[in-house]
Amino acid sequence: MTSLFGFRLRLGDAVDAVVEWITTYLGGFFDVVASIFTFFYDWIEYFLTSPPFWAVIVVLGALAFWAKGWKLALGTVLGLALIASIGEWSYAMESLTLVVVAAGIAIVLSLPLGVWAARSDGASRTIKPVLDFMQTTPAFVYLIPALILFGIGPVPGIIATIVFAMAPGVRLTELGIRGVSAEVVEAGAAFGSSPWRILRQIQLPLARPSIMAGVNQVIMLSLSMVVIAGMVGAGGLGGQIVAALNRIDVGLGSEAGISVVVLAIVLDRLTAAFGGERTGRRVRKPAAPSGEAPRETAQQQAEQPVPANA
């Protein structure tokens, strides 16, 4: 096929050459990566599928109760019980395992990158185009080299999920840290705090809502990739949906789809609950000594309006 003016840029041939070089000289490295991912996947799947389904439901319900209260706990228990009642429990736990592994790795990678981007304008300008490329490139495009490097199974699905889901974690971490009041940071520096201590004790706590929103989005995007993972042999609910598509089985597709929706709602509400204040857990302010007014926190001081004549 010819292109404009009879010239065709053979970008695909260059990519093929790069992938061939990687498989030839870095195959051992990717074998180690696949072994690590498989190890985590197998162990988490074992802990989710070995106990009776009701035991896992009780644990997740207790976690929901601790995070938000009885309403979230009741909804979690009923939703998971629905998944078990329609026979999709084991497949749902396989998908949950993939989400836990992929989202966990994506979060571990995205948070330091977000901190780096927030503290360096040059790093931010470099990282943003890479994130745009990762998030807008169709998953099937980078799934092809993942299949070549890692073969059929859950690992290519994990790799594709990590690449697709990292972007909001980096962006919202950077946004949260950059949104911390400069006066609060300057006050910490004036008291002799090191940059690391300012980051750990001032910026990260104040940026927590934005960071947790990024974590929430990473988990949601990871769950949206279960169908892609099912197409490359990862199993789970994605495998059920692919099987229903191949057989044109509306009933099976509906059951698997409802199970994905229930998992998405549970994970979304749990992460949102951990991103805010937990119900029933109030922070008690320290009592001021007699004759002294209560001291305001640095965040409260920063939120006060500055007088016009200041």
> Which one of 3.40.50.970, 1.10.8.60, 1.10.3720.10, 3.90.79.10 gives the CATH number of domain 21-50+86-276?
1.10.3720.10
pLDDT, position 137: 81
Tens of pLDDT, residue by residue over 278-302, are: 444 444 444 444 444 444 444 444 4
What is the percent of the chain with per-residue pLDDT over 90, rounded to a whole number?
20
Task: For residue 177, give both structure tokens.
Answer: 């840290």
pLDDT at residue 308 tops 60: no
**pTM (predicted TM-score):** 0.79
Tens of pLDDT, residue by residue over 165-201, are: 899 999 999 999 988 888 888 888 888 888 888 888 8
Domain limits of the chain?
21-50+86-276
DSSP annotation string for the chain? ---GGG----HHHHHHHHHHHHHHHSHHHHHHHHHHHHHHHHHHHHHHHSS-HHHHHHHHHHHHHHHT-HHHHHHHHHHHHHHHHTT-HHHHHHHHHHHHHHHHHHHHHHHHHHHHHHH-HHHHHHHHHHHHHHHHS-HHHHHHHHHHHH-SSHHHHHHHHHHHHHHHHHHHHHHHHHTS-HHHHHHHHHTT--HHHHIIIIIHHHTHHHHHHHHHHHHHHHHTTHHHHHHTT--HHHHHHHHHHHHT-HHHHHHHHHHHHHHHHHHHHHHHHHHSPPTT-PPPPPPPPTTSPPPPPHHHHHHSPPPTT-
Tens of pLDDT, residue by residue over 147-170, are: 888 878 888 888 888 888 899 999
Mean pLDDT of 33-38: 88
| Local confidence band at 221 (pLDDT 50, 70, 90 cut-offs) | confident
pLDDT, position 7: 67
Residues 6+ apart with CB under 8 A from 173: 110, 111, 113, 114, 115, 117, 118, 207, 210, 211, 214
pLDDT at residue 203 tops 60: yes
For 64-78, 89-103, 216-230, which range has the lowest pLDDT when averaged over its residues? 216-230
Average pLDDT, the chain: 81
| Local confidence band at 82 (pLDDT 50, 70, 90 cut-offs) | very high
Tens of pLDDT, residue by residue over 244-282, are: 888 888 888 888 889 989 998 998 888 888 766 544 444
Whole-angstrom Cα distance, residue 59 to residue 72? 13
